[in-house]
Amino acid sequence: AAAGLKMALGIACGLAVHATVAVVGVAAVFERVPPLRRALQWAAALYLLWLACGLLREIFVTWHSGAVAGHELRPNGHPPFVRGLLCNLLNPKVALFLAAVCAPFLSGVHPAWWPVAIWGLVVGQGVLLWSLWVLLLQWRPLRTRYEHAGRWIDGCFALALVALAVRLMVG
């Protein structure tokens, strides 16, 4: 649980960096240069489709081989906080998603505190939800069910990625 919470905090810190970039600059650039926003939406959609195909391929391979999908953590020598931070910072879909989601809320006239509130909402929910997930997975019945349902969860997530990609392409 302690390592998981440290990793969750690292993820949230990476999210804070992405949220800062989205709130401070990228959203404003998207508002001023719509073709750039559209190009990045298509790039994000193609990336999401690539991720969905990878998940579906893994499900198909493990389903036919009878193996359990490989979701175990492989330590890479970095402490959990650093692994969570790097995982989030190096994830392009976080930056693209936050920029696309924050842009509509930041366009127009708002009070000076509005961007800070958007940032706080994004980062706060990240800390809360990732930490809650870590704590919930400490409960053995939930963890066991989660491990057994891994293929189905991955399949549903892959379909959600496809739906989000289609939504991005359609506009």
How far apart, in whole angstroms, are the C-alpha atoms of residue 115 and residue 123?
12
Question: pLDDT value at position 65?
Answer: 72
- 36-87 pLDDT, tens digit each: 878 877 887 888 888 889 889 888 887 777 655 444 545 557 899 998 898 8
Mean pLDDT for the stretch of residues 131-149: 91
Among left, alpha and beta (phi > 0; psi -120 to 50; other), residue 69 is: beta
